[in-house]
Structure 1
């Protein structure tokens, strides 16, 4: 059924600016309605075919959004961004489909997924874009780590925007330190330059919007005690004997095993039961493990239990007013995406987030990493032998 919610001020401003262009970027924070804005831009165009490139797990969500806002008159196709590098057949099909259209429109959702200039995915998306009359990027933010993220995104929209190859871009806007070893040479960005000039180049093609709502979002700490720590402690002690022979992936796998050992601990579940009796309104529970999701769904059918991977992207869940972060994730972006499933346009009530923290060192270590927006894997890779021992002791 078509929704009749009026466009927000930001959505109207975005449409007014970008409908005059054939290329553009909607850098709109989660919850500000960038998908609907994109659909209105498509409807205002003379496109005769639309290709949506989205993260694979959000394909159904996009289809629901298209139907929610009245569908499209043009034929369209939704393809997974990750699939473009894995499937030559899909890539060839999309090339042929775009070539058969007179004025195709290509939309890339989550534009940061095309930031790596060396990836097959990036190369193919840029080549597909060259076959399109209209090109649009949708993203919550133009930059994830540094301004280098912008180059491939602008290259997709049009090489004329920056009008410089990647190496020239790097020399003009970035300063590096170089470290060498017998096996590799690494560049680390230490400073950025001429940022105002860079912004002046992209500004005509970009619309930015931050989420502004007349409601509150409140965060609450919810500590709990783990009843059975035997498996956790055994795994921790085994780390001491093998820490120096581990690579980062192996270390991360061990910490995942430690965290999973208390995911369904009686003390963890008891605290969840207490929270659900205390809070009012519909509640989402975010978990990390499929087994945990199944168990909590069976125990608490009144709640929506989601995993971070699937539930933190693409869903609009404004009828819910509470989120309980049951299992921790080291990924700051996943947490922010999850929060914006309920704190977004259309939400009419105050929302509450409950951050559950167990009484083991790993929980606090994850908290600290999230605050610093660090990946636990990166922390381990950069640590000296002494720091690795200290890391195990923190666990």
Structure 2
């Protein structure tokens, strides 16, 4: 009701639903209602690249009205051709174009989207435009100014700072927080540090939250769903003998390089931590090397035990997330040796091929394992055919980790969800897991306290 009222006034609205609570379904229902009322004929959906191919499937499953969805993929000419084809569609139906954020501001594409004059624009995972100065954020603002109806969809509109809201609401409804970022920042942030350029605190957050929810509706899992419980397990792997010596050597060398490295920055610290995490995953790569060298079998051995228990013996489906491509290759080889049919998504898999891969895992009883890089497939897909997920490795970002948890714990899941973290004892793995438990983004905390990680 509230969403319909705001939309009828030509203003934007936000569905701030936690992951798995059905914000895509609700957005499709909103589009359908507006279309049936004659309020809209065209919709532009901007989404993360990995989510674009999901939207047509969601329409197929949920839409109870006539529609034509085109995902704008490929090079510029292919994207423009797809948009022209959609515009020329001869039958009465809601016309929906889906494109990734990174393409919206490109020369030729941005102008074409403006010329198309979509009646409604939906910003999926709207936290992607939290930086007001970024080109894709500015493009979204301009597109939003030209559209009559707007929606933002996000379970995590604020990832790290309260000021993340500004750019999203600048797109959604400029009357809420205004059109001047610095005025917004000065209103709600306490500045300090060198030349008072750093945010050291916030003020009047009650008013900020009140304004945020004046054009948005928040749904949490506790409020909306009777989802089964989640169980988190940690399976420890011990470093011994030569493996332990090699890990400690990498750790000492990294520490020494940082000690002698002059100015310490997050990228330099994270690069050293990356080397340690790559080792716990099983491989190292020399600076002059072309291919990674597999040196540590602890984690892959532990994973193979889980495969034996959960997949081969119990016949259950399993999701495996990891961070690095060499880990994908290592696990793939293990699955092939065990003759386990699996689906896999990583950076090199084309966007248009990912939807069928997910569908195969969800519907094919013979496909037992879904193997993916967390940054590529941790967002926007449904993997409820499994109720158990193994984290072979994680990245440093809490938001990405939190999103990935909801791939199996969402609408459609009927079983208790179990998450198994493979952790090498007394290693960077433990540090990362503790940071994630504190809901920290490790990349933002390492500069001041980098010594505790080595």
Deviations 1:350-369 (A, max 9, x none): 11111111024212221222
Please state whether the residue corresponding to 2:53 is helix, strand or coil: helix
Structure 2: give runs of 5+ residues left out of the alignment: 68-92, 283-295, 341-367
* Equivalent in the alignment of 2:115: 96
* Equivalent in the alignment of 1:199: 209
* Equivalent in the alignment of 1:64: 57
Partners of 1:299 and 1:236 in 2: CA distance: 28
Q: CA deviation at 1:377?
A: 3.3
Partners of 1:270 and 1:375 in 2: CA distance: 29
Please state whether the residue corresponding to 1:122 is helix, strand or coil: helix
Partners of 1:16 and 1:370 in 2: CA distance: 37
Deviations 1:27-47 (A, max 9, x none): 001101111111111111121
Partners of 1:332 and 1:19 in 2: CA distance: 33
Partners of 2:51 and 2:307 in 1: CA distance: 29
Partners of 2:42 and 2:404 in 1: CA distance: 32
Deviations 1:69-106 (A, max 9, x none): 24723122111112234x222212211212xx5xx110
Partners of 2:273 and 2:141 in 1: CA distance: 38
Please state whether the residue corresponding to 2:278 is helix, strand or coil: helix
Q: 1:148 aligns with which of 144, 163, 170?
A: 163
The answer to whether the Cα contact below 8 Å between 2:28 and 2:59 also exists between their aligned partners in 1 is: yes
Deviations 1:336-394 (A, max 9, x none): 111100111111111111111102421222122223333333333224xxxx4x33xx5
* Equivalent in the alignment of 1:304: 370
* Equivalent in the alignment of 1:277: 308
* Equivalent in the alignment of 2:73: none
User: How many pairs are equivalent?
Assistant: 366
Partners of 1:14 and 1:303 in 2: CA distance: 42
Q: 1:160 aligns with which of 175, 182, 189?
A: 175
Query: Structure 2-normalised TM-score?
Result: 0.75
* Equivalent in the alignment of 2:327: 292
Partners of 2:62 and 2:179 in 1: CA distance: 39
Q: CA deviation at 1:68?
A: 2.4
The equivalences for 1:243-262 within 5 A come to: 243-244=258-259, 245=261, 247-262=265-280
Please say which of residues 197-206 and 298-307 is displaced more in the overlay: 197-206
Q: CA deviation at 1:295?
A: 2.4
Q: CA deviation at 1:54?
A: 0.5
* Equivalent in the alignment of 1:3: none
Structure 1: give runs of 5+ residues left out of the alignment: 1-12
Please state whether the residue corresponding to 1:318 is helix, strand or coil: coil
The answer to whether the Cα contact below 8 Å between 2:392 and 2:422 also exists between their aligned partners in 1 is: yes
Please state whether the residue corresponding to 1:258 is helix, strand or coil: helix
The equivalences for 1:364-379 within 5 A come to: 364-379=430-445
Q: CA deviation at 1:256?
A: 1.4
Partners of 1:173 and 1:298 in 2: CA distance: 52
Q: For the structure 1 residues 167 and 235, does the alpha-carbon distance in structure 2 shift closer, same or farther, using more than 3 Å as the test?
A: same
The answer to whether the Cα contact below 8 Å between 1:226 and 1:359 also exists between their aligned partners in 2 is: yes
Partners of 1:28 and 1:14 in 2: CA distance: 15
